[in-house]
Amino acid sequence: MEHFPAKFDAPAQRRLLGELRRIIAEAPLFVPTMPRSGKEMSVRMTNCGPLGWVTDKERGYRYQATHPVTGKPWPNMPRVLLDLWNEVARYPAPPEACLVNYYAASAKMGLHQDKDEADFSAPVVSVSLGDTGIFRVGGTTRKGPIRALELKSGDVVVLDGEDRLAYHGIDRILPGSSDLLAEGGRFNLTLRRVTKP
């Protein structure tokens, strides 16, 4: 795992947030639900790029080319995110999906692995915008030791190599720790390669 604190400075964060608002206007945030139980997650989400990650009670975790509510293709991925991938991913093909998770003050994400992709040699690249999130990361089994890291607005994290399948999650949000988002809370943008090149 690599952590790049303040990879995006304040002006770059504002520009990226502007791109994100454009994406959400075209592909509105929706509430994903857990497979089998149908329980709603506490985050709201959308995607950009050729593919988007979705989940629901009926069909479970998957990637698809269209928004599950509007039925329209996902918006294009901003150039700045493609440039970031080219800089930090060390992978010969571009990302195909950018998951956008919005965490309100009470939202969290339990420990999980990102394993719905075909090629685990491709890293997962994550960008934080807004309030600080307490990020927890462990090993490739649930029994490994877990460490906590504060992810602040503008931070980038790369999960690669043996950490690519590390269990990770967001324990809590620190409300008011950033003034980037007028509504408060945190956006997490996660770049992924879905298929093998």
**151 neighbors 133 (Cβ within 8 angstroms):** yes
| pLDDT at residue number 57 | 82
| C-alpha closest to that of 173 among 152, 158, 190 | 152
Closest CA to 127 of 156, 163, 95: 156
Instruction: Please give the pLDDT value at position 142.
Output: 85
CB atoms near residue 194 (< 10 Å):
19
The predicted structure's pLDDT at residue 60: 81
Residues of the chain with pLDDT under 70: none
Buried-state track 170-190, b at ≥16 Cβ within 10 A, e below 16: beebeeebbebbeebbbbbbb
CATH, range 2-192:
2.60.120.590
Q: Which uninterrupted H or E stretch holds 87?
A: helix 79-88
pTM of the full predicted structure? Answer: 0.94
- Looking at residue 195, its amino acid is T
